[in-house]
Amino acid sequence: MNLRYLGDALDYWKGSVFFRLQERGILENFSVDPMLTDPEDWRATDFQLYSDLLQIRPGQVLQHKRKLREDREKYLTEVVHAGDLFVDPNTGIALRPVGHAENYIKVREIHQLLGEKLPRILCIYQHVRAQKTKDRVSELVLALVGVNTRIHCCSYETPMTVAEIHGKISETVSNDLTVVSLIAQHGYGPSPKPRIRYQALLTCLSSLLPPMRLPLSSSPTTLLKRR
């Protein structure tokens, strides 16, 4: 996890998944290791926001003395949590040598985290780009099961892309006024470029008022004016 990615649409998606899994008792004694690549930039408010987005308590986020990019082996030995766990690398699982290894978790490290504590659920974020998700997942499963056949794998694919919005009706104030939470941004915090994603905003506003039947080619600016 990197601070510049905090607050993108996928964090909300992760939170909705973990909320449901914990609500149904599927995840037990659940904790999260964010695998921070920039821990020196994180403040207490950032950790609070991260836990809020993932719909967990701040105490469920594991803390480290070692830095992942400086002492990887000792960083991983600090993960002594015995319950279910989510690890949140920037990119996902590395199947071969890669540059910027701090953005990945390796197959042997996954087995190290699982240890002999089976049955245990270990959730891992995996970014997929320029490849079909099912092909990437199949490749990962073969690599994991090839080391330990006791592992059972499943995946959940989000239908959205980063920066696409979530729309949630949060409060009806009166018969003619409803408050809606919209997310149409990529990342969080200071940025040299605007974080808003107008196509995502267009998608959300179009879904809120379907009777208008606006063409997808309508610009967000036009859409806002017509509202």
Question: Which is it for the CA torsion 134, 135, 136, 138, positive or negative?
Answer: positive
What is the reported pLDDT for 188? 62
Domain limits, the chain: 3-145, 167-226
181: phi then psi, degrees, rounded to nearest 5: -90, 125
Q: What is the DSSP letter of 149?
A: T
Task: Find the Cα–Cα–Cα–Cα dihedral 175, 177, 178, 183, rounded to 10°.
Answer: 160
How would you write the pLDDT of the chain (227 residues) with one tens digit per residue? Answer: 999 989 887 888 899 889 999 999 999 999 999 999 999 999 999 999 999 999 999 999 999 999 999 999 999 999 988 899 999 999 999 999 999 999 999 999 998 888 765 568 899 998 887 778 788 888 888 888 887 767 777 777 765 543 333 334 445 556 677 666 666 776 666 778 777 777 767 766 766 654 444 444 444 443 343 33
Query: What does DSSP say about strands 85-87 and 104-106: parallel, antiparallel, or unpaired?
Result: unpaired
pLDDT value, residue 196: 76
Helix (H) or strand (E) run with residue 182 in it: strand 177-182
pTM: predicted TM-score of the whole model, two decimal places:
0.70
Q: 132: which residues sit within 8 A by CB, 6+ positions away?
A: none
Helices 9-23/44-53 angle, 10° precision: 60
Assess contact for 76 and 40: CB atoms under 8 A: no
- Give CA–CA dist 111/94, Å, rounded: 13
H or E element, residue 31 = strand 31-33
